[in-house]
A and B are shown apart, each in its own frame.
Chain A
């Protein structure tokens, strides 16, 4: 156990985590150059494109240190985005150390700080590493000062490295050996292992990545998952090098995988404790939480005939994404579809993109919404995931909305516009600190405002320099109303939004005006109205198109003119018919963007 080092890498997107992981794996000779695929830890295409890691993966490395001894280094990968902060905390709690990778040319960012704090809370040893020192813009001294100012970690011994060129990689490994404490744990105690991650494999079913805290796990043991009480026979244990290699056992301090014939991913929950059925641990490891979707949206096939295909695609995605939820939903405007629950906006984007790319689906997505708690006069509390389902306000005692605590890091120059933005979004300032080159702002803010367009606008008012991290804080009473939109006199349920009463009038006018611009002119005038209950608060008219006719058609034009008309018709097919008005897809997302975001 003295030769085991469990560590992960904390880094902001683009600060070079994946490249550094590749270098470490390469330096330990775990993969031959031929096998060394760039950025092996980020195996999914989408992740590669977006430069983020969604599923934590791991690599067990053998490193011969300068002291002549061989160490087992377990690199545990962590997801790098705000939507996945719970997964990050579980990954970190499986480690004794973490490399804090900071881009020497850019300095500290919000998620890095949030993850770093999580690490410190878990008593994980944080080892600063300044990456990208080969860049001309690298300023290691400022970055070092910033780490000390912002995070409060001693950075005087921070390693300077460049994962790209390979400078300093050996020093990083030496530091891991020297600074990361070896795991503590009792191999003779009853088995306690933390589920760091789980995923579905087509051949063996669910694969669980665990960190053994106490005890030993062998094939043929019968495992017990403590949160659900479910038992499974353990078929195989092993480690990733990053290729999977079977082992005879996993014992205290080690990180590896378990295959136990589990069919459903939801059965192996991240953060749960694995123990043995015949000799269970007294109590589970701390920190387990059921993760619940925070953001909901309706997904509808453009072609209603593709409903079954959409369900199958969602089922396939869910095989490998326990946090994705969906259930059938019927919209008057959009027909049959699914209300889907996501961890956050990024998660939603990823799911949507996979459906469109991997499964070739044409989708209409309604504007995302948070979950409201509605206390009825009857005393019953409802969770409302779809604005259209908000009960009649006369039966409602109160509506509570989720509040998040947002931490924003940004260069000083942008403090003014960012504060203005936070105020617009009904944010309440909790803290503001000047830290070296940067400012840290902490706001309590309705999550509803964040899913709207906060992130995009934050990026735009700060020219991309601000970084955001947030966590759920509480449900808070709010004066909210449902804003309905009617097109051609018909209520379009998929366009309903829940907004604060104070901004309802403005939003109603804004949305009606925006829809007027997005819905193509038809053969007749189309009124667009916004209403709260039966009270119309805004009205716009989409003026009738005057004509739609081809100026010329002679003997030679037949096939070309015909193609033109076919194209026109094809374009209309991608719209949804509501009453006798055709509404294009973009209109359903219009509710997302406020005018200021332009």
Chain B
């Protein structure tokens, strides 16, 4: 089923209920609000990456004016979005990409100053910047810190030269270690992205990567199973990957190792020392709101009229052109009431501890009764914990989250 993109008009706004459910959503309070800022350029596109990232060519370096134009556009983007989030406090900021650590420190400073000026940013807000090894210069990272960034998320992926080459990264193991050193010198909160089940990787190699990550002393690790996403170079010509049993073994071993080191496995792929969870990501998984600015950024915003998803113009060039017209949004659609339970659970059930049951109604505006039958099914299948106070996957449900979620997919409309 392809969904049409419908522009928000008053006529649509009153017709929230999709055919079939007859439900009208009723939100009693606004969820917490986060801000996501997308920086769409990378030194080079990785063969497994399906994010909105584009190779930064020579003509797009900071001194050509492109960077300044992009920051201008981001600021204008926030300004144009202000009516939608008026008066709502922003709890976290996440600058992702692409490789946002390609930004110059003054540019980042200007951006964050604009954010603070335009939006009511929580003084204790978590402000995360994504960074890739190979872009690390000590001075610049010190300046990032000074600009207000207080958490760094580094795309290490592996500490093994051969593995890094196979997945097309621009950095090597030395650069990876140096990046972590620089990060830890300037930031208390650092996340390392590690991937396992890499091409030709064996168990020992996967464990070496995770051990090194732990030994650095960082407070957060994201351990991802390498996935061949559609429309990537890897999906087009797949490299030789470990089979599903080996990669499952790797996952279990990684979980054990991280647990032994004091990390809490709080989401499918996320591990944190106590109190060090990524608050920005938690907000996604708790079905909070987020404003997404920058090329291709996605946002989800709730109001008394319903829940809306929007996406900014995707290609950086189109985005910059559109910015000149103050027309940032490429797609905007209301989430139908029938789709909300699935979307909510797709996020919430990623969390090991799930969410309080009451959050379902608070975030979706729907009574729990709309999914009562399916909850019973999921509990009977041993995938959902039989706990009236929380919506939480069982251990089996965590491993087979797709099967658990499939129970909540809206039935396809009869042709």
- B399 touches which one: A547, A552, A561, A562 (CB < 8 A)? A547
- Complexed CA–CA distance, A566 and B248 (Å): 23
- B400 touches which one: A548, A553, A556, A569 (CB < 8 A)? A548
Q: Give the residue name and chain of the B residue nearest to A545 (CB).
A: B244
Would you call B409 and A569 a contact (CB within 8 A)? yes
Residues of B within 8 A of A553 (CB): 268, 284, 346-347, 350
If the complex has contacts A554-B284, A562-B343, are A568 and B402 also in contact, measured as CB distance less than 8 A? yes
Would you call A549 and B297 a contact (CB within 8 A)? no
A555 on interface, CB distance cutoff 8 Å: yes
CB distance from A396 to the nearest CB of B (A): 43
A550 on interface, CB distance cutoff 8 Å: yes
Chain A, 531-566, CB within 8 A of any chain B CB: 543, 545-556, 558-559, 561-562, 565-566
B251 on interface, CB distance cutoff 8 Å: yes
Q: Give the residue name and chain of the A residue nearest to B403 (CB).
A: A548
CB distance from A117 to the nearest CB of B (A): 52
A523 on interface, CB distance cutoff 8 Å: yes
Q: Give the residue name and chain of the A residue nearest to B270 (CB).
A: A552
Residues of B within 8 A of A547 (CB): 248, 251, 399-400
B128 on interface, CB distance cutoff 8 Å: no
Would you call B409 and A565 a contact (CB within 8 A)? yes
Would you call A549 and B346 a contact (CB within 8 A)? no
- A565 touches which one: B227, B299, B311, B406 (CB < 8 A)? B406
> Which size class do A's interface residues fall under?
20 to 34
Would you call B268 and A549 a contact (CB within 8 A)? yes
- B227 touches which one: A521, A545, A551 (CB < 8 A)? A551
Chain B, 275-295, CB within 8 A of any chain A CB: 281, 284, 290, 292
- B292 touches which one: A552, A555, A559 (CB < 8 A)? A555
Q: Give the residue name and chain of the B residue nearest to A556 (CB).
A: B298
Would you call B396 and A569 a contact (CB within 8 A)? no
B300 on interface, CB distance cutoff 8 Å: yes
Would you call A554 and B400 a contact (CB within 8 A)? no
Q: Mark A491-529, 1 if CB is under 8 A from B, else 0.
A: 000000000000000000000000000000101000000
B41 on interface, CB distance cutoff 8 Å: no
Would you call A550 and B227 a contact (CB within 8 A)? yes
- Complexed CA–CA distance, A437 and B346 (Å): 68
Residues of B within 8 A of A554 (CB): 281, 284
Q: Give the residue name and chain of the B residue nearest to A566 (CB).
A: B409
Residues of A within 8 A of B303 (CB): none
Would you call B298 and A558 a contact (CB within 8 A)? yes
Q: Give the residue name and chain of the B residue nearest to A546 (CB).
A: B248
- Complexed CA–CA distance, A515 and B405 (Å): 27
- B297 touches which one: A556, A561, A565 (CB < 8 A)? A556
- Complexed CA–CA distance, A561 and B284 (Å): 14
Residues of A within 8 A of B251 (CB): 546-547
CB distance from B296 to the nearest CB of A (A): 8
Residues of B within 8 A of A565 (CB): 346, 402, 405-406, 409
Would you call A555 and B298 a contact (CB within 8 A)? yes
- Complexed CA–CA distance, A545 and B412 (Å): 26
CB distance from B98 to the nearest CB of A (A): 12
Would you call A551 and B225 a contact (CB within 8 A)? yes
B253 on interface, CB distance cutoff 8 Å: no
- A523 touches which one: B225, B400, B405 (CB < 8 A)? B400
Would you call B403 and A551 a contact (CB within 8 A)? no
Would you call B269 and A551 a contact (CB within 8 A)? yes
- Complexed CA–CA distance, A546 and B297 (Å): 34
B401 on interface, CB distance cutoff 8 Å: yes
Q: Give the residue name and chain of the A residue nearest to B407 (CB).
A: A569
Would you call A549 and B398 a contact (CB within 8 A)? yes
If the complex has contacts A552-B224, A553-B346, are A546 and B245 also in contact, measured as CB distance less than 8 A? yes
Would you call A546 and B406 a contact (CB within 8 A)? no
B271 on interface, CB distance cutoff 8 Å: no
- Complexed CA–CA distance, A561 and B268 (Å): 14
Chain B, 197-250, CB within 8 A of any chain A CB: 224-227, 244-245, 248
Residues of B within 8 A of A548 (CB): 399-403
B342 on interface, CB distance cutoff 8 Å: yes
CB distance from B228 to the nearest CB of A (A): 11
B309 on interface, CB distance cutoff 8 Å: yes
- Complexed CA–CA distance, A550 and B402 (Å): 7
Q: Give the residue name and chain of the B residue nearest to A523 (CB).
A: B400
Residues of A within 8 A of B269 (CB): 551-552
Would you call A549 and B401 a contact (CB within 8 A)? yes
- Complexed CA–CA distance, A523 and B382 (Å): 11
Residues of A within 8 A of B346 (CB): 553, 558, 561-562, 565
Residues of B within 8 A of A569 (CB): 406, 409
Chain B, 308-344, CB within 8 A of any chain A CB: 309, 311, 342-343
Q: Mark B350-387, 1 if CB is under 8 A from A, else 0.
A: 10000000000000000000000000000000000000
- Complexed CA–CA distance, A549 and B406 (Å): 11
- Complexed CA–CA distance, A561 and B339 (Å): 13
- Complexed CA–CA distance, A547 and B247 (Å): 10
B263 on interface, CB distance cutoff 8 Å: no
Chain A, 193-238, CB within 8 A of any chain B CB: none
Residues of B within 8 A of A558 (CB): 298, 300, 309, 343, 346
CB distance from A118 to the nearest CB of B (A): 49
Task: Report which B residues bind A (CB closer than 8 A).
Answer: 1, 36, 51-52, 224-227, 244-245, 248, 251, 268-269, 281, 284, 290, 292, 296-300, 309, 311, 342-343, 346-347, 350, 396, 398-403, 405-406, 409, 412
19 additional contacts (CB under 8 A) given A548-B402, A556-B52: A521-B244, A523-B396, A523-B403, A547-B251, A547-B400, A548-B400, A550-B227, A551-B224, A551-B268, A552-B227, A553-B346, A553-B350, A554-B281, A554-B284, A556-B292, A556-B311, A558-B309, A562-B346, A565-B409
8 pairs of A and B residues whose beta carbons are closest in the complex? A546-B248, A556-B298, A549-B401, A547-B399, A548-B402, A551-B225, A551-B224, A569-B406
Task: Report which A residues bind B (CB closer than 8 A).
Answer: 521, 523, 543, 545-556, 558-559, 561-562, 565-566, 568-570, 572
Interface CB pairs A-B, < 8 A, 11: A521-B244, A523-B403, A546-B248, A547-B399, A550-B401, A551-B224, A553-B268, A555-B290, A556-B292, A562-B409, A565-B406
